[in-house]
Amino acid sequence: MSVKQLAARFRLPRKEKKQRVHRRVDLIGTGSRRNRKAYGDVMMLVLIGIMAAFSFFPLLMAVNMSLKPIHELFYYPPKIFAENPTLDNFRMLFSLMQNTRVSFFRYAFNTLFISIGATLGHVFLASMAAYPLAKMKIPGIKTLNQMVMLSLMFVPAVTDVANYLTVSWLGWLDTYWACIVPAMGASLGLFIMRNYMTTIPDTLLEAATIDGCSNYGIYWKIIMPMARPAWLTVTILMFQQVWNMDNTNYVYSEALKTLPYALSQITSGALVRMGAAQAVGVLMMIVPAVVFLVNQTKIIDTMASSGIKE
Amino acid sequence: MKRKGLTLQRKRSMWAYIFLSPWLLGVIAVFAFPMILSISFAFSNVTVDNGYSLSFVGFENFRTALFVDQNFLQHFAATMGDMLYNVPIILVYSFLVAVLLKENFKGVTVFKFIFFLPVILSSDLFTSLLNNFGSTSSSSLDAVMSGAGSTGMLESLNLSKYLTDLGLGKELVELLTGPVDKVYEIVTCSGIQIFIFLAGINSVPPTLYEAAHVEGANGWEKFWKITFPMVMPMILVNVVYSIVDTFMSKTNLVMEYVYELSFKNFNFGLSSAICWIYFVVIAVILAIVFGIISKRTFYYT
């Protein structure tokens, strides 16, 4: 064994330099990254901090409102921070919850079931329809795309009456279906996903086709993973909408009604319930907030891992 | 030569329609049927008894909406003005926020969450919680309520009352509080747009930036020559979404009026006619905007 070989044996394996992916959007544009880095980062944080302050203010107000004892709610002019924070409002709300006609958990279950069902159903159906609308060149696709646009701007005041007629004709009045199915047919999510999918490179789909991938395979194994940021965004959007939906238009039996209805019933009517109403606001925020946070951690840069090099 | 099975074109169409069929069924139920129903409402006098009955009156409802009704055109003009003013600001603001959020600094999730908060807080639930009190309390209390309620805090209503009490002139007060009102209108309306933009910006292939970096492009050039054109399809989405959102929100004047007409006065004929006029105008606006933007849209394929 030569000296050289021996040396090679004891040398640590050369670490492969991690390829640094450069995807910073240089906003300030001073060219050299190192120079602008500190300055630019501070500027950016200040800017984003100011804008975030505006968005954060409502939460601050809502939480403080829920902690205020009842008389402080009527201060004029109103104050932002509670002077003597208490949990009385929450205590009152919980004691009110125990006196509902149907168990409180039933309302909570209904809301969760409807929200999750409608959201998943919508994302699945709409993404399935978005794929051909974005990527297939077949006769009639242009008309369909225009139809999606048209259905976006249809005034809800008109569809309310017709939807009621449809739901009752289908025999879905007073069932979960009455809330889940119409939400699934909403076209907003479809529109967002369809437009996102147009940015997926055609070469990828062609490569898959040549390798013998079926249409279903392309949808499930290429389109869906690539369009992940889009459908995750649609998920939070839909969930948020359905979560706050009052289903009393279609549902009459108490056991099938949702949380927004139950809570607004609890808190309506008397001025003394004002504090409880504030507590409801804070409590109802929690689930969409959690959904959002979980959702955001799942968003990754899909294009970074698409494997396309030109 | 005998052809076996379907042609490629036919096969593709078949697959496309298989994918589309569940949604198409939904569209027929949720969109096509209401459309036909409301057309028939708009052209007739609707009487609500046990069910409803129609009697054809031609363009009578449209004439009423445009020439007799005093409220519609006024509300309509106000809504249009709001839209023209708000949508550009919403777009610029949300794009800026999205670009900033794209930078993966520490704690970015916290910031994302904060920017999403107004979306949660501005939902119908919070408005309805407030309305429950509005209907039961006397009008003098209403003003205080809207200051204390969770949606009222998004407006400077209480601030303007306070300033008026201090003895400032009405014009001066409006000048001071106007922008504050708008700030919260913009902030609450741009929550979703930020995340649509973010999804778009995230999808830009990093290889493009690498190449540009190697070629010596600076950040300004990279932004305008890579990020901006690559996000163009999402800009289109957001323009459409923002316009539709401002027009369809239940709090805008025309919508409130339509709800009042149809569910308080049960004048379905007139409200359908108004909806159709409204619908056609929005469709024209969207078609123009869509035409302008999609011509400039660049698809990276």
The domains located in chain A, with CATH, are 33-86 (no CATH), 92-305 (1.10.3720.10)
Is this prediction's pTM over 0.90? no
Range of the domain at B111: 58-296
Chain B hits for A22, CB-CB cut-off 8 Å, are 206, 209-210, 213
Residue at B129 is within a domain: yes
Reported residue count of chain B is: 301
Residue at B101 is within a domain: yes
Residue at B25 is within a domain: no
Q: What is this model's ipTM?
A: 0.74
The Cα–Cα gap between B17 and B153 comes to: 48
Residue at B17 is within a domain: no
CA–CA distances in Å: residue B149 to residues A15, A157, A271, B137, B184: 60, 26, 12, 13, 15
Residue ranges for chain B with pLDDT beneath 50: 1, 130-157
Binary contact (A303, B202; C-beta < 8 A): yes
Residue at B301 is within a domain: no
Binary contact (B210, A22; C-beta < 8 A): yes
The pLDDT, as a whole number, for residue B168 is: 64
Residue at B29 is within a domain: no
The Cα–Cα gap between A196 and A126 comes to: 13
The pLDDT, as a whole number, for residue B19 is: 86
Residue ranges for chain A with pLDDT beneath 50: 12-13, 15-17, 22, 26-33, 309-310
Binary contact (A132, B16; C-beta < 8 A): yes
User: How many domains, chain B?
Assistant: 1
Residue at B6 is within a domain: no
Binary contact (B223, A26; C-beta < 8 A): yes
Chain B hits for A136, CB-CB cut-off 8 Å, are 12, 15-16
Q: What is the CATH number of the domain that holds B160?
A: 1.10.3720.10
CA–CA distances in Å: residue A152 to residues A234, B143, B292: 15, 35, 19
Residue A175 touches chain B, beta carbons under 8 Å? no
The pLDDT, as a whole number, for residue A117 is: 92
Chain A residue at shortest CA distance from B243: A153
Binary contact (A203, B120; C-beta < 8 A): no
